[in-house]
């Protein structure tokens, strides 16, 4: 790929300048300028900070290629020369470090590369391509914001939605699972109320820290004891906030809980268990009032259309080699890309893109230490290798688009 060096420099720049959800102004501007330079018609500000680039190239199908742009409130610890040192203010008004810990900088770079490749190859395909640079995937609202802002009223409705997500698989590989491929995610915010006081006199208080700690531990039994072995669910408490000083027992504690599931019956059962445990632990501690539980379904299950997946995978195997395109099985992570397909009534094919150093992956596999030695998405150590990740990512997007356009 003749522009590989330029894309690598672009990727390093994006990685060093991450932006939080709905604040992707710099990233969106870069994507827009590259698409305009390639001759595409560009619309900015779709769904607040989203960008839609359109190339009409004669009669034929409409293909939507999607990349998300936002980063996470994570302090980077990769040690890379181009590591992020950015901080920003989050929606709660808190100053936080920011990092591309989920690889959205890879996604943006690869889609820009695919825009340029499809422009060069336009004498070999016919139809319309929409390159959608989406905001706020991490908050689960970016795809919906673009749809609510008239995405399919202002632009052609696609015949297929395509995209990819970088992962700790070996770089140079891709993976696609037909059917339910990424889990649904529910986000719960819990406020547990106690009665504060002096740390030296806990008997005069109702300690919400102990209440919250007991709740965290009890929640670990939901999957272990209430979900069948043949089903899949994840319950993670990723945030616990309480107090501001070691000798002051606070009045309340706050939990942030993430629930992942693949089917509605399992989802309902897990959510009921979480609500029951939170209320019961508060009652057991003698809380002065019921806890407040707010639930937001941030992500639906991502379902790859079986026919669309089979067609796309066949094309990817032709481009990369059959041994380099695998079925990774369902992924417990979540994505909002499914909204784009559902709203359009179009089939979806969304695949994993390898980003790990193949030699490191091979050693870790041989040693049985993949989970320990290969940082996953959302880790402060997550750092996809630049090549062949970018070259492969551009090829997969271009190949998939051409399969449907041809």
Q: Residue 114's domain is classified under what CATH number?
A: 3.40.630.10
Once rounded to an integer, what is the mean pLDDT over residues 1-27? 92
pLDDT score recorded for residue 406 = 75
Say whether both 124 and 171 belong to one domain.
yes
Say whether both 334 and 208 belong to one domain.
no
Closest CA to 113 of 348, 303, 392: 392
pTM to 2 decimal places = 0.93
Q: Which of 298, 329, 345 represents a domain boundary (last residue)?
A: 298
Say whether both 253 and 232 belong to one domain.
yes
Q: Please tell me whether 107 is known to bind a ligand.
A: no
Question: C-alpha distances in angstroms, 393 versus 29, 108, 112, 156, 245?
Answer: 21, 10, 10, 25, 48
pLDDT score recorded for residue 2 = 58
Say whether both 20 and 168 belong to one domain.
yes
Say whether both 220 and 205 belong to one domain.
yes
pLDDT tens for each residue of 239-274: 999 999 999 999 999 999 999 999 999 999 999 999
Q: Dig out the tokens for 33 from the structure.
A: 């300028």
Q: Which of 298, 330, 347 represents a domain boundary (last residue)?
A: 298
pLDDT tens for each residue of 151-178: 999 999 999 999 999 999 999 999 999 9
Once rounded to an integer, what is the mean pLDDT over residues 271-299? 95
Say whether both 213 and 270 belong to one domain.
yes
Q: How many CA atoms lie within 13 A of 102 on its CB side?
A: 24
Of the chain, the percentage scoring pLDDT greater than 70 comes to 99
Q: Please tell me whether 34 is known to bind a ligand.
A: no
Q: Which of 70, 117, 186, 281 is catalytic?
A: 70
Say whether both 213 and 312 belong to one domain.
no
Once rounded to an integer, what is the mean pLDDT over residues 21-30? 98
Say whether both 232 and 371 belong to one domain.
no
Q: Is the pLDDT of residue 296 over 90?
A: no
pLDDT score recorded for residue 238 = 95
CATH number at residue 215: 3.30.70.360
Q: Please tell me whether 104 is known to bind a ligand.
A: yes
Say whether both 116 and 242 belong to one domain.
no
Query: What total of structural domains would you count in the chain?
Result: 2
Q: Which of 252, 281, 298 represents a domain boundary (last residue)?
A: 298
**Residue 1 confidence class, pLDDT cut points 50, 70, 90:** low
* Residue 137 designated active-site: yes
Q: Please tell me whether 102 is known to bind a ligand.
A: yes
Structural domain harbouring 39: 4-182+301-405
C-beta separation of 72 from 138 below 8 A: yes
Say whether both 196 and 336 belong to one domain.
no
Q: Please tell me whether 165 is known to bind a ligand.
A: yes
Q: Which of 19, 68, 137, 403 is catalytic?
A: 137
Say whether both 100 and 141 belong to one domain.
yes
Say whether both 41 and 138 belong to one domain.
yes
Q: In angstroms, how far is the first alpha carbon of the chain from the final one?
A: 21
**Residue 391 confidence class, pLDDT cut points 50, 70, 90:** very high
């Amino acid at each position: 790929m003749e522009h590989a060096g330029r894309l690598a420099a672009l990727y390093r720049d994006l990685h060093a300048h991450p932006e939080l959800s709905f604040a992707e102004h710099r990233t969106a501007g870069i994507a827009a300028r590259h698409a305009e330079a390639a001759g595409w018609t560009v619309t900015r500000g779709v769904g607040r900070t989203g960008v839609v680039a359109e190339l009409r190239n004669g009669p034929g199908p409409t293909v939507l290629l999607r990349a998300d742009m936002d980063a996470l409130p994570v302090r980077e610890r990769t040690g890379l020369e181009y590591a992020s040192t950015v901080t920003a203010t989050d929606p709660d008004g808190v100053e936080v470090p920011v990092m591309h810990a989920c690889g959205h900088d890879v996604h943006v770079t690869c889609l820009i590369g695919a825009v340029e490749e499809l422009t060069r190859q336009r004498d070999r395909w016919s139809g319309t391509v929409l390159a959608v640079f989406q905001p706020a995937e991490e908050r689960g609202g970016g795809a919906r914001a673009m749809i609510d802002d008239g995405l399919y009223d202002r632009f052609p409705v696609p015949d297929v939605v395509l995209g990819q997500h970088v992962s700790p698989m070996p770089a140079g590989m891709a993976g696609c699972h037909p059917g339910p491929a990424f889990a649904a995610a529910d986000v719960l915010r819990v406020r547990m109320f106690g009665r504060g006081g002096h740390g030296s006199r806990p008997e005069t208080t109702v300690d919400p820290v102990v209440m919250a700690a007991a709740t965290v531990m009890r929640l670990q039994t939901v999957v272990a004891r209430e979900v069948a072995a043949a089903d899949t669910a994840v319950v993670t408490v990723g945030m616990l906030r309480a107090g501001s000083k070691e000798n002051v027992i606070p009045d309340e504690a706050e939990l942030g809980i993430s629930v992942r599931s693949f089917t509605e019956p399992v989802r309902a059962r897990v959510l009921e268990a979480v609500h029951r445990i939170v209320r019961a632990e508060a009652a057991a501690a003698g809380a002065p009032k019921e806890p407040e539980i707010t639930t937001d379904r941030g992500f639906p299950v991502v379902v790859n259309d079986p026919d669309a997946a089979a067609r796309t995978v066949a094309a990817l195997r032709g481009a990369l080699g059959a041994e380099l395109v695998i079925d990774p099985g369902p992924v417990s992570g979540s994505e909002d890309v499914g909204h784009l397909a559902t709203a359009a009534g179009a089939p979806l094919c969304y695949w994993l893109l390898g980003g790990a150093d193949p030699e490191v992956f091979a050693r870790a596999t041989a040693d049985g230490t993949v989970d320990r030695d290969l940082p996953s998405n959302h880790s402060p150590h997550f750092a996809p290798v630049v090549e062949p990740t970018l070259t492969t990512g551009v090829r997969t997007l271009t190949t998939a688009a051409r399969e449907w356009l041809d």
